[in-house]
A = this chain, B = another copy of it.
């Protein structure tokens, strides 16, 4: 590891987080601001960055890597997606240097789904790529299925340290839409506690139903027939949707790394476990570990 001070920044849609990392990649200090890219006017990214991290950048030989939506069309500067298969080499070669050798935006990844149809079907991620490489660095794995649950969950295949492809699922967003705006919202209690049995029932049902567009209607009929107490319906619906992801993607034999908030990775671990699959959970530390591993690659 180089002796340069690394400033790792994760600039997302709704929040801006940064960490000053030590020589071994350890977090010396971290900060978080409600300054996601949605709150920053065009042309103001430089100023917001200076305001939040200018003092850290004073350190001699400071190197700053920024991941996340800061590299999108609506961000600081657009960093074109790095196509898969992509490892550290591809990612470092495509860093977008805002200040030469000092401040770079990490590009997101893109991949092409091979569906044999005339219109090419791309998939994209921004920010998750750094978590994937961080998870590999932390676990020492070079082959894995890395799952990043969230509003738009990602399932990434990693072989020999490179992301060979991935797929996005609108699971979190669809759960929110159904809970807040659909007919189901009328009978779904807003503040029901988590119920693992109901969740696992949803996961199991998702494996045996011909379509998730049909199984989600089950939340309605469970209310009509009183087959499951209303307080358990949100957990059941969550199980149906996460279970649909697993039905499509989970395969025995692959090591599954779950990276994200403790709340979500716990649910995915329970869902995988109910299908007889094991997983390993990682949290925020994967983000900073990804920045550190990338910086090490740059300064090696």
Contacts and interface: CB of A to CB of B under 8 A. Distances in A.
A150 to B, nearest CB: 12
B208 A117 contact: yes
Contacts of A249: 210-211
Q: Which 6 A-B pairs have the closest CB atoms?
A: A211-B248, A210-B248, A169-B213, A177-B177, A168-B217, A122-B221
A4 B152 CA distance: 59
A109 interface: no
A98 B300 CA distance: 84
A217 to B, nearest CB: 4
Contacts of A269: none
Contact of A120 (B119, B178, B211, B227): B227
A93 interface: no
A169 B183 CA distance: 13
Nearest to A120: B227
A245 interface: yes
A5 interface: no
A221 B124 contact: yes
Contacts of A217: 123, 152, 168-170
A119 to B, nearest CB: 5
Interface string A182-206: 1100000000000000000100110
Contacts of A204: 117
A55 interface: no
Stoichiometry, as copies per complex, reads 2
A129 to B, nearest CB: 16
Interface in A103-121: 113, 115-121
Contacts of A244: 211, 213
A101 interface: no
Contacts of A228: 119
23 contacts: A115-B205, A115-B209, A117-B201, A117-B208, A118-B201, A121-B227, A122-B225, A123-B221, A124-B224, A152-B217, A167-B214, A169-B211, A169-B214, A170-B182, A170-B213, A170-B216, A171-B213, A173-B182, A210-B248, A210-B249, A211-B244, A213-B245, A213-B248
A214 B168 contact: yes
A241 interface: yes
A94 interface: no
A62 interface: no
A173 to B, nearest CB: 6
A104 to B, nearest CB: 22
